[in-house]
C-alpha cells in the first residue's frame, strides 16, 4: 500500500523548475465576495496573467484554517504569502516568525517583523471625502453611518466620515450604528437593513456603510426607501446603479499587485506602509453608474478637498492616533 502511495508521489512531483511562487489566503468571504477578497484576488490574478508566476489561492473554510493555510504555503516553499484582513494579524505573526526567509504581506494590520510588509490604508481620508459628498447631497441634512463590527478600524471610517460632513455642513446631524461586535457582524444583511430603515425613519437620506456583506442590506433599504447609500472597499456603484451615491474605495488590488511585483524583482521591502489619497490607494469613485446623481458641484468640492488633503492643508483626524493618547 505504502509503495503505491510513494510511486504516485514521484509521478506527480516530478516536474518543478522553481518559478516564483505566491500564495494568497482569503478569509471565509471567498474570492467572490465582490469586495475585499475579490479585490485582492483580482489584483493577484491579473498580474499573474501578465507576468506568469505560480499563484495559488486558498479560501479558508473557517477562521481556524487561516493559520494552517499560511503555514502550509510557507512549508511548501512559497516565496510570498499574502494574508488579507486584520484577522490575519495573529496567524501571520506566528507563521512569519517560524519562516523568516519567506516574505509576507498583510493588509489592514501591522505586523512588525523583518519579513512582513504591512499595508495600512488611510481610510479616514477617503471617508472624509465621502462624508463631504454625503452632507452636500443630503436634503434633510441628516446622514447615517452603519459599521459592521465595532472595532477601531471601522471607528476610523466613522471619524473621517464625520469630519468630512462637518467640514461642508457644520449643522448636519450624523446617526451611527454598528451591526455587532463579533465577526458575524460582517455577514448579517438583515440586521444591516433593519439599522438602515431605522436611520431612514429618523430622516437620514444618505447612509455610508462599512459593513462587509451586511452592507448589502443597507443598499436594499436605500433602494426601497429611495434614499442614497455609499459603498465601501471596492467600487460598489454598479450594485444598485442610481442608488449608490459613491463608494469609498481601498485599492487592495494595487497593494497586492505592487507587492508581488517588487518581491519578484527582489525589491521586497518589509515594514509599515501607510497609504492614502496621495498614493492613490484610497479614493471616492465616480463612474457611469453614479454620474447622474453625483452633481458636478459636489464633485468640484470633493476634488478641492482631496487636493487639500494631499497637500496636507487638511489633516483628517485619525481614530488610531487620537485613541493612542
The site for another protein (CB under 8 A) is made up of 2, 4-6, 8-9, 11-12, 30, 56, 58-65, 67-69, 71-73, 75-76, 86-87, 89-90, 95, 98-99, 108-109, 149, 151-153, 181-184
Provide the grid cell at 68.
Answer: 494552517
Smallest distance, another protein to C-beta of residue 168, A: 29
Q: Which residue pairs, CB below 8 angstroms and at least 24 apart, start in 312-317?
A: 314/128, 314/167, 316/122, 316/124, 316/125, 316/127, 316/128, 316/160, 316/163, 316/164, 317/124, 317/159, 317/160, 317/163
Q: 32 vs 304, which CB is nearer to another protein?
A: 32
**Rounded Cα distance, 209 and 123, in Å:** 13
**Rounded Cα distance, 267 and 19, in Å:** 17
Q: 109 vs 237, which CB is nearer to another protein?
A: 109
**Rounded Cα distance, 14 and 11, in Å:** 6
Smallest distance, another protein to C-beta of residue 186, A: 11
Q: 91 vs 217, which CB is nearer to another protein?
A: 91
**What are the φ and ψ backbone dihedral angles of 218, each rounded to 5 degrees?**
-65, -40
Q: 72 vs 169, which CB is nearer to another protein?
A: 72
Smallest distance, another protein to C-beta of residue 211, A: 15
Smallest distance, another protein to C-beta of residue 2, A: 8
Smallest distance, another protein to C-beta of residue 153, A: 5
Q: 90 vs 295, which CB is nearer to another protein?
A: 90
Amino acid at each position: 500500500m505504502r509503495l503505491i502511495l510513494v510511486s504516485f508521489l514521484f509521478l506527480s512531483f516530478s516536474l518543478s523548475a522553481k518559478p516564483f511562487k505566491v500564495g494568497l489566503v482569503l478569509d471565509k468571504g471567498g474570492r467572490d465576495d465582490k469586495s475585499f477578497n475579490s479585490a485582492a484576488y483580482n489584483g493577484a490574478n491579473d498580474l499573474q496573467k501578465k507576468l506568469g508566476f505560480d499563484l495559488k489561492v486558498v479560501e479558508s473554510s473557517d477562521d481556524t484554517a487561516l493559520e494552517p493555510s499560511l503555514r502550509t504555503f510557507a512549508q511548501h516553499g512559497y516565496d510570498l504569502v499574502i494574508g488579507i484582513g486584520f484577522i490575519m494579524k495573529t496567524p501571520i505573526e506566528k507563521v512569519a516568525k517560524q519562516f523568516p526567509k519567506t516574505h509576507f504581506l498583510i493588509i489592514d494590520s501591522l505586523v512588525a517583523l523583518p519579513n512582513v510588509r504591512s499595508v495600512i490604508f488611510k481610510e479616514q481620508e477617503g471617508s472624509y471625502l465621502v462624508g463631504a459628498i454625503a452632507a452636500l447631497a443630503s436634503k434633510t441634512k441628516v446622514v447615517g453611518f452603519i459599521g459592521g463590527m465595532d472595532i477601531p478600524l471601522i471607528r476610523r471610517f466613522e471619524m473621517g466620515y464625520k469630519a468630512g460632513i462637518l467640514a461642508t455642513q457644520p449643522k448636519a446631524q450624523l446617526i451611527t450604528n454598528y451591526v455587532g461586535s463579533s465577526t458575524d457582524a460582517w455577514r448579517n444583511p438583515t440586521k444591516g437593513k433593519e439599522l438602515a430603515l431605522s436611520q431612514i425613519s429618523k430622516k437620514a437620506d444618505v447612509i455610508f456603510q462599512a459593513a462587509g456583506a451586511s452592507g448589502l442590506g443597507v443598499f436594499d433599504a436605500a433602494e426601497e426607501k429611495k434614499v442614497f447609500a455609499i459603498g465601501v472597499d471596492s467600487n460598489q456603484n454598479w450594485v444598485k446603479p442610481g442608488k449608490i451615491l459613491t463608494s469609498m474605495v481601498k485599492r487592495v488590488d494595487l497593494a497586492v499587485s505592487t507587492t508581488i511585483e517588487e518581491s519578484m524583482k527582489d525589491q521586497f521591502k518589509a515594514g509599515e506602509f501607510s497609504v492614502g489619497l496621495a498614493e492613490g490607494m484610497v479614493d471616492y469613485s465616480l463612474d457611469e453608474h453614479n454620474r447622474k446623481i453625483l452633481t458636478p458641484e459636489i464633485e468640484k468640492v470633493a476634488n478641492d478637498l482631496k487636493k487639500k488633503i494631499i497637500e496636507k492643508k487638511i489633516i483628517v483626524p485619525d481614530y488610531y492616533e487620537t485613541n493612542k493618547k
